[in-house]
Amino acid sequence: MKKNVAFTSAIIALFAAIICIGCVIRIPLGLVPIVLQNALCILTGTILGGLLGGAPTALFIVAGLIGLPVFAGGSSGFAVLLGPTGGFFPGYLLGAIIAGLIAGKPDIQQKKFSAVNVIRVSVAIIAGMIILYIPGTIHFARWALSNSKVPADKSAFAFTMSACVLPFIPGDIIKTVICIPVALAVRPVLAQYRR
């Protein structure tokens, strides 16, 4: 039992570290940058499965809030949560948990590329990537309105969609296409050790 707890803790820490390393990839694109961390949160959630899938993302967020430079571009602290991208952090956590619940706990008996497994993992990653946008866009719209960032010729909804949703869809589709085979390959390996 102690060995299992130690292994699980080590896996959570490892996956949280992978998410943190993703902070170096940040491409500025207006008020919301292109990042890799959104896909890493959903990927780790899918690989671990179940509620445990959200643990690495939760650890990553806590690390950033206590001051470690693990958010995009090496930023950290509560001030990031108040900025335009602050709503995406709860979105990362919610998306990772939902992806984990849909994917379920990795099972050594599952055939890696069976139709059911491919569909389940694909739905998990797609759902997680979509869900993370919900808190992010709500927070961004509220932030834009309260800071008078919405142009006079646009509604808050149109500005939010053009600033933090539509430009990111092509990149997120590419991330999703990459994450699905990675999750399918890693889940059975992890299942051999996590019993």
- For the chain, the domains span 2-193
- The amino acid that residue 122 corresponds to is S
pLDDT 10s digits, 25-42:
878 777 787 889 999 999
Position 175 pLDDT exceeds 60: yes
pLDDT 10s digits, 80-102:
999 999 999 999 999 999 999 99
Q: What mean pLDDT is predicted for residues 181-194? A: 88
Structure tokens at 108: 């050594």
Where does 50-111 have alpha helices with state H?
55-65, 78-82, 88-103
Asked: is 2-193 a CATH 1.20.1250.20 domain? The reply is no
Closest to 39 measured CA to CA, from 113, 124, 117, 111: 124
CA distance linking residue 44 with residue 47, whole number of Å: 5
pLDDT, residue 193, reads 76
SS3 26: strand
Q: Binning pLDDT at 50, 70 and 90, where does residue 3 land?
A: low
Strand partners, 75: 71
